[in-house]
Structure 1
Amino acid sequence: MNESETLQQETPEQLSDILLVLNKETMKIEAVKKMGKDGRLETVSPLKKNENQFMKVDKNGDIFSNFFTNFLSQLKNPSNFSFFKVPASSAVKTANELQKAVATPSVKGDELLSKFEVSTTKNQEKQNEHQNKNNMENTQTTTPTEGEYRYKAEEIDWDTMSKLGLTKEKLEKNNLLDGLLKGYKTNDLVPISLNLGTAITRLDARLSLQRDPEGNVVMAIHGIRKEPSLSYPFFGHEFTKEDKDNLLKTGNMGRVVDLQFPKSTEKTPAIISIDKKTNEIVALRADKIKVPDEYKQVKLTEDQKKTLMEGKPLYLVDMISTKGEPFSSIVQFNAEKRYVEILFDKGNSNVLSQKNIESPVQEAPRLVRGKELSDEEYKKFSAGERILVPDFKGQNKKEYGGYITFDQKTGKTDFSFANSSKKEQIQQDKSEISNKPQKKTKIS
């Protein structure tokens, strides 16, 4: 066996630790096997014969911290357990010593337990700190302009990404890379897995690119949480009972508050919402709120626009649906989505009357195949109109044109792409669309 083969065999073991758990009801130390789909732990006795079933975790601090905080967020009754991270090479021996320390308490035993214990409280605080830092970057950075790339693909550490089950090819295939490079968070949840030669766990998360303090481009993983962390301060803001009720009910807090960002000496007015796909808390600076002059064919008064700018809910009547029918509903600006949304609340008669409105509709994406739609394009697109986009860009950066239509019922975008050689015809169509009233055309 040559030297390189020896290193290949030893590396997974050297880079891995084993996750042990103390069940506080049975007071027994066991080895974590995996997380069940119902959020319950599956464990095995920490014996030599079971070593191949032990969950292996990366020894790297950052990767483990990210994995463990998401692991806890999916676990039922995490307070019933204490966790320990021990070297894989001595896992069985260490588990036996920890069991003795639990069975016969002593100063030396307490020191041993403390040495290997993974603090769930510290990880929760670290998760919130990391989340706050990510959100601070989002609130203090302007939205990318059309066609602007904030990052380069070659700046990404693809070796580390592969440990999460992410590759450049996979992101490109799913039309995610272009939006990430422009500074956007993925609209859909992406499956993530930690792979060190042994399957550990899988989770769904939204992704975004950010720069760390050293200027390196890193992938931020916005994992799904069981619930928003509203018991912890958010940039210095303590959530009131009314704040919590609003956030849990509508996803929006409903008012502007002053937040203390780490890089600012002064407090910054902002609104707060919940990412409904991940339960992450997201803030948006008040000066970044953009309210349209007209919404669903209702011209907004200055007072109405002011209400939305302050993050408050607004009841609008005689809006026009995609079917051309009038309806009334409460609308509100959402910090995470960065636009005014309709609040369809089936459980609150004070908010909506289901007899007078249509069924909830899907929201149109602002980013289509890496192309950010302008405000005018998005207004027509989200209303279900067929619009022309002449400057989509392929992987070879070559422009091509085509028509897109959004189906609010299915949430799908229909494409009818024109041949790139017919550029003059596309420009003629674009001119006709801009100078004539839009007519609904069936897409073949």
Structure 2
Amino acid sequence: MFTKDKNVIIAVSNNKNLFDRNKIDWSELECYGLTKDEFGKSKVFEKMLESGKSPNLYPVTIKKDDGNYLQGFPRLSFVRKLDGKIGLDLHFPQDLSDTFNVPFYGYTFSKEEQKILRDTGNLGKVIDLTHPYNGSVYPCFISLDSITNHLIAMETKYLKIPDTIYGVKIEDGQKTFLKTGKIIRLEDMQSEKGNLFSGFVQVNANISGLEVTNDYDVRIRELLCNNLNIPTHFKGQEISIRDREQLFEGKIVRMSGKNGESPVYVCMNFFTGKAEYMSCKFGDNIQKPLSKRHITNLNYKSVNIRSKNESGHSRKTQRSA
């Protein structure tokens, strides 16, 4: 539920990290079993300092009203609280069917818009969202968090577009397209290693910036949408939902052998769209389908509507109640 708290502006600079490790409210994180001695030394923590979100779902412990504890697997994000400290927000995955079943800050997505978000992750245009208390209207970019299936909004006025992207000059007309959420194509961009590549650029509200997808990733995404056949069983054994998600991400899954048989390793061939089975594991993963690049030489801000929970912590709410 929303309270009448004011909007909180989160400012992001050119520093490597979005968040200052010295301002982390460890007393709040420890409520979820995340300690400074362990979590504070993890790679996930370092990633969160850089981007604000955990790269994947992460295990936490939550104390119930009866004093017992349960374990959950949300995506984590840092939020700046009103006292200047940095707290934690938990985003639990939800079914896509639940993502669009209520208006999102006053906006109802059409069937076509829902399909675009599911297929591409970005709406590709600007829409007006309404603040639930003061009625103010905010033009926003909209994206879908592929990990949690939550909708993410970013105000258009906080987008800063650089003059060049990977060495390619951005013309005024192209900047106009990007500001309206549309996608543009750039040729002969140069990667950090000096390799030339071509691809597409679009605003992604989930990262509050621009995202570059190269031609290889676009072809693979089209294949995934149309032809990818994730197996549900192997020799009578059910492949769990978690393992199927791993296969979709390009990971190799181990299936136990029956009656003394050797284990079998399963992976997806993203060119044929079919699963392949191996008796030996040759690596940790296959070519991942969407290795997108994020533009980091931007100054940007995003607006988050937050409410206070019973413990007094300021919490970010992603969708209307």
Matched, 1:277 2:147: yes
Partner of 2:169: 299
Counterparts of 1:71-220 in structure 2, within 5 Å, are 137=8, 140-143=9-12, 146=15, 153=23, 156=25, 158=27, 161-174=29-42, 184-194=52-62, 200-211=70-81, 218-220=87-89
Q: Tell me what 1:114 maps to.
A: none
- Where 2:12 maps in the other structure, the secondary structure is coil
Q: Secondary structure at the match of 2:122?
A: coil
**TM-score computed with the length of structure 2 as normaliser:** 0.57
Superposed CA RMSD: 4.2
Pick the aligned partner of 1:253 from 104, 113, 123.
Answer: 123
Larger Rg: 1
The aligned amino acid for 1:235 is Y
Distance of 1:151 and 1:296 partners within structure 2: 30
Judging changes above 3 Å, is the alpha-carbon distance between structure 1 residues 186 and 265 closer, same or farther for their aligned structure 2 residues? same
Partner of 1:338: 208
Q: Contact (CA 8 Å) 1:165, 1:195: kept in 2 or not?
A: no
How far off is 1:364 after superposition?
Answer: 6.3
User: 1:263-303 deviations in whole A, cap 9, x for unaligned?
Assistant: 65431111011122222211111011122211232211100
Q: Is the 8 A contact 1:283 1:336 kept in 2?
A: yes
Higher helix share: 1
Query: Does the residue aligned with 2:178 lie in a helix, a strand or coil?
Result: helix
Q: Is the 8 A contact 2:187 2:198 kept in 1?
A: yes
Could you tell me how far apart the structure 1 residues matched to 2:168 and 2:85 are?
A: 46
Separation (CA, whole Å) in 2 of partners of 1:236 and 1:208 = 26
Q: Which has the higher strand share?
A: 2
> 2 CA distance for matches of 1:189 and 1:324?
33
Q: State how far apart, in whole Å, the 2-side matches of 1:327 and 1:144 are.
A: 27
CA distance in 2, matches of 1:169, 1:365: 30
Give distance in 1, aligned partners of 2:135 and 2:21.
28
Following TM superposition, by how much is the alpha carbon of 1:318 offset from its aligned partner in structure 2, in angstroms? 3.1
* Corresponding position: 1:234 with 2:104: yes
Aligned-partner SS, 1:312? coil
Letter in 1 for 2:175: K
Q: Which has the higher contact order (CA 8 A, sep 6+)?
A: 2
**Aligned partners of 2:203 and 2:61: how far apart in 1?**
34
Percent identity, aligned pairs only, is: 25
Cα deviation code 1:51-90 (max 9, x no counterpart): xxxxxxxxxxxxxxxxxxxxxxxxxxxxxxxxxxxxxxxx
User: Can you list the C-alpha shifts for 1:222-253, whole angstroms capped at 9, x where unaligned?
Assistant: 22223361222111111122221111111101
Q: CA deviation at 1:179?
A: 7.7
> Is contact 1:316–1:330 with CA below 8 Å preserved after alignment?
yes
Partner of 2:306: none
Kindly tell me the number of residue pairs found equivalent between the two proteins. 230
Q: Is 1:313 paired with 2:187? A: no
1:419 corresponds in structure 2 to none
1:290 aligns with 2:160: yes
Which consecutive residues of structure 1, in runs of 5 or more, have no partner in the other structure? 1-125, 367-372, 377-444
Instruction: Give the conservation status (yes or no) of the 8 Å contact 1:313–1:330.
Output: yes
CA distance in 2 between counterparts of 1:325 and 1:277 reads 30
Does the C-alpha gap of structure 1 residues 151 and 237 become closer, same or farther in structure 2, counting only changes over 3 Å?
farther
CA spacing shift, 1:144–1:184, aligned 2, 3 Å: farther
- Is the 1:191–1:202 contact (alpha carbons within 8 Å) kept by the matching residues of 2? yes
What secondary structure, in the 3-state scheme, does the structure 2 residue paired with 1:291 have?
coil
Compute the displacement of 1:164 (Å).
1.9
For structure 2, the 5+ residue unaligned runs are 226-269, 272-286, 300-321
Q: Secondary structure, in 3 states, of the residue corresponding to 1:255?
A: strand
Task: Label 1:165 to 1:256 Cα distance change in 2 as closer, same or farther (>3 A).
Answer: same
Q: Which amino acid aligns with 2:203?
A: F
The answer to whether the Cα contact below 8 Å between 2:184 and 2:200 also exists between their aligned partners in 1 is yes
SS at the partner of 2:187?
strand
On the 8 A contact 1:151/1:182 being kept in 2, the answer is: no
Q: SS in structure 1 opposite 2:185?
A: strand
